[in-house]
Every structure is written in C-alpha cells, then in structure tokens.
Chains A and B, each alone.
Chain A
Amino acid sequence: MSTTDLAAPSGNGFEEAWHRLRRFDIGDSVAHGVTLLAGAGIFLLVGVLLVELWLNSRLARHEFGWKFLVNSIWDPIAQHFGALPFLYGTVVTSLLALIIAIPLGLGTAIFLVELVPAWLSDWLAFIIDLLAAVPSVVYGLLGIFILVPVIRSTVEPFLHSTLGFLPLFQGPAYGFGFLAAGMILGIMVVPFIVSVSREVLLAVPQEQREAALSLGATQWEAASQVVVPYARSGIFGSIFLALARALGETMAVTMVIGNDPTIHKSLFASGYSIAAVIANEFAEATSTLYVHVLIELGLILFGLTFVLNALARLLILATVRRGTVRP
C-alpha cells in the first residue's frame, strides 16, 4: 500500500517529463546536439591542425630556433636548413602580384560600379569570378607554355632595355623565375580584389556620389575622391585577402618560379617560395628533421595567412556594415 503511495507521484512526474520530452525536447535537443557537434568539430579540426603542425615541426624548432628565419643556406644533404630564400621568394612574388593586381582589380571594380548599368556589371563580375574557379594547376600549365615564352622573348628583353640600370631587371632572360610567378599570381588574385572591392563600392551610399557630383566634381573625381575613400577599409580588406591568397598559392608558382633556393636580386632569376618548396620536397624528404623543417615552413605560411585573413575579414566587415545602399 505504502509502496504504491510513494511510487505514484514519482511515476506521474516521470510520465509527464517523458511526454514533454517526446513532444518537444528530445528531438530539439538531439538536433541541437548533432549540429553543435558538427560546429564543434570544425573548432576541433582547426585546433588539431595547429597542434599537428606545432608538434611535427618541433625538431626543426629545437635545432635552429629563430635563426631558421634569417639563415639563407638550404642544404638538405648536409642537414642544414634556412628559410630565408623561401621567405624572400614568397614575399617578392606576392608583392609583384599585388603591383599587378591592385591597379587592374581596382580599376575594374570602379568601372563595374560607377560606369556600367547594373545588369552588365553583374555579368562582367560573373565572368571575372570564373577566373577564381580555374584550378591553380591549370594556371601553372598556361604559365609554363604561354606566359613563360612570352616573358622570355618579349617582356624581359623590353624591361632590360628600358629599366636595365636597376639591379631588378638585370641578368639573362630565362622566362622561369620571380617575374613569371608574380605575373601569374597577379592574374590569379585579381578576381578576389574585383569581387570584394565591387561589393564594398556598391555599399557606398548613393548620396555620397550625388553630393560630390552636385558640387561640380567630374565623375572620376567623385569616384576617386569620395567613393573610394569612403570604402577604403573594405578595399584594403580585399587587398589583404588577395595577399593571403598569393602567399599560400602553390601549384602555379611551383611550376613557373624555377625552384632555386638561392636569393637573387634580379626578378629575371629563378627562385623558390615557401609553398613551392613544400610541394616539391615533402614527398622526397629523407630524414625526420627534413620533414619537420618543411612542416615548420607550413606553420609559418599558416601563421602569415591567418593574420592577413583575420585583418581582411575585420576590415571588410567594418565597411560593409557602415554602408547601407545596395545590400
């Protein structure tokens, strides 16, 4: 008797809870849990990625320390490794890429936003976006067989005869080298500059343009002195994004940079980049130290692109939030 008395209330409570769970909470919590798991999985993935890179480069860090970054000798047979030639190559090719891509991309974006009707602008932007979809290895293919011969026969002799007094443009014209890598990278990152710059330029309020034009500014003056400055942090964001792409780009660079781990002043000379040396030598690395050195180079690359991407995202976010016109 007393047992049923005791059991009844708890049974009711349990049943009630069970009903509530069946009607709502279980399904919802399971769905919440499963999707949360996927989200947490992404955090975990990035975390494990960092840990793996860190652990698997420990030998290189213990052996060379910070000197690794400034040492310019790369001799795998003598187990002597310095990262400077690769840092140099990566920086030089990326800067070259930006020198080409910034005017080209920004000019295109201004044209698309300020001068053409919206439907044409959308179509042209779509075609330019397709440039970003072309695989890197195909850019490399075009680089080897189309761009390099042109550089060897036309671009380098021309630069040599006009700007040959600068050490940058001296030496024999091989075709393969910093110049080829920089040019192909420049073409590859243009779509990023165009699409993001176009986005932030579109977000500039129409009143800004109208105000400038009504004060008597020409269309170019309105664009260059009012619209572009208004969107400048977003444009910087697009440039950082492009730079991050250029730094990490592997295949196209590997195929045209010439793969020579020495530092040359001339842009005509062959060089090497961080991504290219990993791509070329990782599968053939013979000692554990060698592998760890290459993974440390990967870690450096990761760090660089991490910082640049973070900066780019913040800048773009800040600009797009401020403007309100065409979402």
Chain B
Amino acid sequence: MTRRSVTNVLMLTFTGACALLTVSIMFYILGYLAWHGASALSWNFFTKLPAPVNVPGGGMANAIVGSAKLLLLACCFGVPVGILAGIYLSEFAGHTIASVLRFTVDLLNGVPSIVIGIFAYTLIVLPMHTFSTLAGGFALGIMMIPISVRSTEEYLRAVPSSLREASLALGAARWTTITRVVVPAAFRGILTGVMLALARVAGETAPLIFTAFGNNSWSQGWSQPTASLPFMIYTYAVSPYDDWHRQAWAAGLVLVTLVLFVNIVTRLALARKMPLSR
C-alpha cells in the first residue's frame, strides 16, 4: 500500500474511534448511574425527608416536591413569554426586527446559568430579603424562554403557507387563522419544545444556589427557600459522608432518568430534527 492509502485508513479509523468513544461515554454515564444509584434507591427516597447524618433511611421527598414547584413556576413564567414571542417571530415580525430578536434570544440562551442566578438574586431575593421558591422559579423560567421561542418559531414556520392562505381566503382574520389553524397544526412541535426546555432546566443547579437555596425540611411557602433535586445532589456529593454520597447517586439516577426520558420520548415522537436545544 502507498503512504497515502495508509494515511487514509489510519485517519478514517481515528475518526471512527472518536465516534465510538463519544457514543460510549453516554453509555458509561448511564451505566455508572444505574450501578451506584439503583442500590441506593428505595421507597424511602421518594417519601421521607432527609435524615441527619448517621441516621439511616432518609429520603428526598421535599426536594422532589420542591423541584416540581420550581418547574411549575418556571413554566408559568417562561412558557407564555416564549410561545408568544415565537408566534410574533413567525407570524408578525418584519425581517429586521425578527433577526434582531432572534439574535437576542440566542444570546440569552448563551448566558451562563450562574449569571441568570445573580440576576434573579438582585431582582427578587434582594428586595424580599430572603431566598425563595419564587426567585428560583423565575431564574429557571428565564432559562426556558430561549428554547421555547426558537422551537415555537421553527414549528410555526414549518406549517405550510397553503393552510394560512386557505383560512384567509375563507375570510378569517389573521389572528383567527393563527389561533385556529396555524398553532393547532404546529401544536405537537410547540409542546415538544416546551418539554425539552423543561427537561433542560430541571437539572439546573447553578441558578438555584442563591435563589431557591436549599431546605432540609418542607418548604414553608412560595416566598421561602426550598430544596430541589439538583441542589441536593450538589450538597450531598460534596459532603464527606458515605451515606449522603449514596443518596446523591440515587438522586442523580432519578434526575437523569427523568431528563433523558423526556428527551427521548419527545424527540422520537417527532421524527423531525430539533434546533440546538442547549
């Protein structure tokens, strides 16, 4: 063989090895989580409050509820803004405004999550003088906006213009066309985008550290600090206690299972490709 064909085979093998390595990392991650997490997972994990050090049998019920509350708040804030702005981009905006807005949304998507946390801190925690569920939900909500905007826009654009024209030709106003024809046609796609946005923020920890903070017991209300699953993983993982490490693995397994489940189901439900989701 000539030097050129040897190089060819070597380099193509190298690219194959890269692909194999990258793909196998995913399976390593799942394997380690299943291995360490499953043994620590029990019914108590879902129903009990965290136990003090050296007391066996604690759980993370408060963190699970806390995460659910934070995500609910995030949806209430982020989803309407995201979807409406997506509709604006696809149906109303002129070319210049659309590209500027799209650019802004992309930049918001790139803002580090820790900076979003600082923002929620200065805007909500400082005036209220306390860490709160509200501030955490607000921070996560901001992070949901870019993904919902872009996916809403993309799926609305994918609706054939003949549908819009047919509706307009029947005498329907533009807004009737949008609410009765265009949005329903793209509904599945929009829902997918929202689910992916939700899955992304469900695992965010950095914006919660100084907004929702943490809580070893049930949260006292929306204006009080709350525990959350990702934050528990963080505090337990960096603690020096073996029992807490096991709990952290269990929480990691639960979180990743949820996040990957949503990702896989939504993406398979739509055979179409998604825009950059992170």
| CB <8 Å contact, A278 and B89 | no
Interface centre among A107, A137, A187 (most CB of B within 10 A): A137
| CB <8 Å contact, A244 and B122 | no
6 tightest A-B contacts by CB? Answer: A135-B203, A248-B112, A107-B18, A38-B84, A35-B88, A31-B175
A42 and B233 contact, Cβ closer than 8 Å, known pairs A34-B84, A110-B15: no
Interface centre among B107, B109, B111, B118 (most CB of A within 10 A): B118
Q: How far is the CB of A172 from chain B (nearest CB, A)?
A: 21
Binds A, one of B24-32, B42-50, B185-193: B24-32
State A142–B200 Cα separation when bound (angstroms): 19
Residue in A closest to B14 when the chains form the complex, CB atoms? A107
State A31–B108 Cα separation when bound (angstroms): 25
A8 sits at the interface (CB 8 A) = no
A310 sits at the interface (CB 8 A) = yes
| CB <8 Å contact, B18 and A35 | no
| CB <8 Å contact, A279 and B81 | no
Chain A residues with CB under 8 Å of B115's CB are 49, 53, 248, 298, 301-302
| CB <8 Å contact, B92 and A104 | no
Count class of interface residues, chain B: 35 or more
Binds A, one of B4-12, B57-65, B159-167, B215-223: B4-12
A63 sits at the interface (CB 8 A) = no
Task: Mark B residues whose CB is within 8 Å of A.
Answer: 4-5, 7-8, 11-12, 14-19, 21-23, 25-26, 29, 32-33, 36, 80-85, 87-89, 91-93, 97, 101, 103-119, 121-123, 131, 142, 145, 149, 173-176, 178-179, 199-200, 202-206, 209-210, 213, 230, 233-234, 237-238, 245, 248-249, 252, 255-256, 259-260, 263-264, 267, 276-278
Selected A-B contacts with CB under 8 Å, 9 pairs: A48-B119, A104-B21, A111-B15, A126-B267, A134-B260, A137-B252, A138-B256, A313-B103, A313-B106
Q: How far is the CB of A104 from chain B (nearest CB, A)?
A: 5
Chain B residues with CB under 8 Å of A294's CB are 118
State A278–B234 Cα separation when bound (angstroms): 15
Name the prevailing secondary structure of the A interface residues: helix
Q: Which of B26, B82, B178 contacts A131 (CB 8 A)?
A: B26
Q: How far is the CB of B53 from chain A (nearest CB, A)?
A: 18
Q: Which of A111, A129, A191, A255 contacts B16 (CB 8 A)?
A: A111
State A133–B21 Cα separation when bound (angstroms): 18
Chain A residues with CB under 8 Å of B213's CB are 283
State A255–B205 Cα separation when bound (angstroms): 12
Chain A residues with CB under 8 Å of B26's CB are 127-128, 130-131
